[in-house]
Amino acid sequence: MDIHEYQAKEILAKFGVEVPKGALAYSPEQAAYRARELGGDQWIVKAQVHAGGRGLAGGVKICQTQDEIHDACDNMFGRKLVTHQTGPEGKDIYRVYVETTAQIEREIYLGFVLDRSSQRVMIVASSEGGMEIEEISSTRPESIVRSTVEPAVGLQEFQAREIAFELKVEPGLVQHMVRTLQGCYRAFLDFDATMVEVNPLAITTDKRVVALDAKMSFDDNALYRHPQISELRDKSQEDPRESRAADRGLSYVGLDGNIGCIVNGAGLAMATMDTIKLAGGDPANFLDIGGGASPERVAKAFGLVLSDKNVQAVLVNIFAGINRCDWVAEGVVLALKEQQIDIPVVVRLAGTNVEEGQKILAKSGLPIIRATTLMEAAERVVGAWQRDLSQGTRLRAAQ
């Protein structure tokens, strides 16, 4: 789960990371009022969307007067911000963050991520802040500093000082840098984050270390332990399909293809998508319905997959261990009867109660295409989709 910049800054500030003064606004008028509250003679207005590259897309504006703030916000609210991270569909702007500006002497990149190879939290830093880490990696790889944290002891002061020295932080600011590094690490650890990024972390002309931007992402599976973090979720910034799936306890990731997938188990779901590609099709989603799925849960999964208007065929691939094939078969029949599905549906069942499941599908009288192996299922769903596509093309030509 991602959160907005202003939310990440509020969290980091509680752990001793210095951030600029700022306030949230939901309208141009409120943004101008926030600037008056903050004081000063220059402000920066930032669109709050879950994406990077906001500045290049017009989502960040420096303003000298309250009229400029009003005009900048008037151009932001209600439109979609399109960046290299959002794709062409963009993200809707519903709120902005108004901040005081800082006089920057130099910028640093700072990131905390979970390194799966070492099974440790890794700190990635660079003296070339203000750029995306991918750009830094390609243009200035020698500037990147990496350091893994031993989980038994956490981020120690000597380790934080070493990072500060490698970043060539001047001696008088090393302790401030140590406090910033340790604050970010504690926030990462205490809230089960998967990423904390401060870019840029600025050293100002008045010798302060300030987080000018911040991003945080959290482990969805740990949110039950942090209700205060769950409350920060902004569904308007999420794929509506993925949001609906999360609300129903399903693991779903939307893709760009047209063959919907309903599978139990993440590994099998990945194999299913690969096999569809091998057979000449394109998967429309990753969907893991989990173990012990009831007929109602399977029917809900159908509804979720079919909410994607690009889906032109569905493949159900179940290898039942904890699950049961007869439950899945009942769910498929229930979904087809309730939702009047008029696209090809291919079902492959294996494992517990597979014979009972096959009987339920056969007795239903519904146009369900059955398969016994994954490759066969993929070939049949791709073939059925292509036939439907061809028939639709001929029908339109005849009309």
374 burial type by CB count under 10 A (0-12 exposed, 13-18 middle, 19+ buried): buried
Q: Is 264 annotated as a binding residue?
A: yes
- 46 known ligand binder: yes
Would the annotation count 107 as a binding residue? Answer: yes
pLDDT at 103 over 80: yes
* Tens digit of each residue's pLDDT (9 = 90 or more) over 188-216: 999 999 999 999 999 999 999 999 999 99
Q: Are residues 273 and 247 in the same domain?
A: yes
Is residue 290 classed exposed, middle or buried when 0-12, 13-18 and 19+ CB atoms within 10 A define those classes? middle
Please write the tens of the pLDDT for every residue from 333-358. Answer: 988 888 878 899 999 999 888 999 99
Map tokens 């009972």 to a residue: 356
Instruction: Mark whether 292 and 257 lie in a shared domain.
Output: yes
Residue ending a domain, among 59, 80, 101, is 101
Known catalytic residue at 109: yes
Q: Is 268 within a domain? A: yes
Is 3 contained in some domain?
A: no
Same domain, yes or no: 288 and 390: yes
CA distances 250 to 53, 221, 243, 297, Å, are 30, 12, 10, 9
pLDDT band at 398 (very low <50, low <70, confident <90, very high): very low
Average pLDDT, the chain: 89
Helices (H), the chain: 5-14, 28-38, 66-76, 133-139, 157-166, 174-190, 227-230, 240-247, 266-278, 295-306, 325-339, 354-363, 374-398
Whether the CB-CB separation of 100 and 20 falls below 8 Å is answered with: yes
Please indicate whether residue 5 is annotated as part of the active site: no
Read off the CATH number of the domain in which 331 is found.
Answer: 3.40.50.261
Domain boundary among 62, 84, 101: 101
> Which residues on adjacent β-strands are paired with residue 203?
106, 209
**Contact, 194 vs 3, CB < 8 A?**
no
Count: domains in the chain: 3
Is 376 annotated as belonging to a binding site? Answer: no
Domain residues for the domain of 207 are 8-15+103-237
216 and 265 share one domain: no
pLDDT at 124: 94
102 in a labelled binding site: yes
Last residue of one domain, picked from the residues 101, 133, 155: 101
pLDDT of 108-130, one tens digit each?
999 999 998 889 999 999 988 87
In a domain, 2, yes or no: no
Residue 85 sits in the same domain as residue 125? no
From residue 129, how far is each of 44, 226, 243, 296, 308 by CA, in Å?
A: 18, 31, 33, 50, 39
* pLDDT higher at 303 or 166: 166
Count of CB atoms situated within 10 Å of the CB of 87? 11
pLDDT of residue 287: 87
Three-state SS at 217: strand
Residues 204 and 142 placed together within one structural domain of the fold? yes
Catalytic residue (one of 197, 242, 330, 379): 197
- Residue 1 counted as domain residue: no
99 is in an annotated binding site: yes
Is residue 275's pLDDT more than 70?
A: yes
Is 54 annotated for ligand binding?
yes
Catalytic hit among 6, 109, 185, 252: 109
